[in-house]
Amino acid sequence: MEPSFKVEHADDDEPRQARIGTVVWGLIVIALAALIVISTLGWVTLNGTYVLIGLMIGAGAALVVGGLLSARKGSGTPKSPAK
């Protein structure tokens, strides 16, 4: 009995890179956790609305800049034809 799918391994010389969105959302989670810890310890008092606005502006800027850098980096490399 043959499997219904086959896994093809690509032998790329380039190391795989993390997706920009994954990195940005990971940074957002870390920032939120740090802000919660700081707020719980009583070092500062945070306004939730301002924190969310700041995180959304930062995340949006990071996604746009990362996308532009990725597009600029990827445009110079020739792509191999699909097989």
CB 62 within 8 A of CB 27: yes
Whether residue 71 is predicted with pLDDT greater than 70 in this model: the reply is yes
pLDDT one-digit tens code per residue, 51-60: 889 888 988 8
Q: Annotate 1-55 with DSSP letters as a single string.
A: ---S--PPPP--SSPP---HHHHHHHHHHHHHHHHHHHHHHTS----HHHHHHHH
> pTM of the predicted model, to two decimals?
0.59
Mean pLDDT of the chain, nearest integer: 79
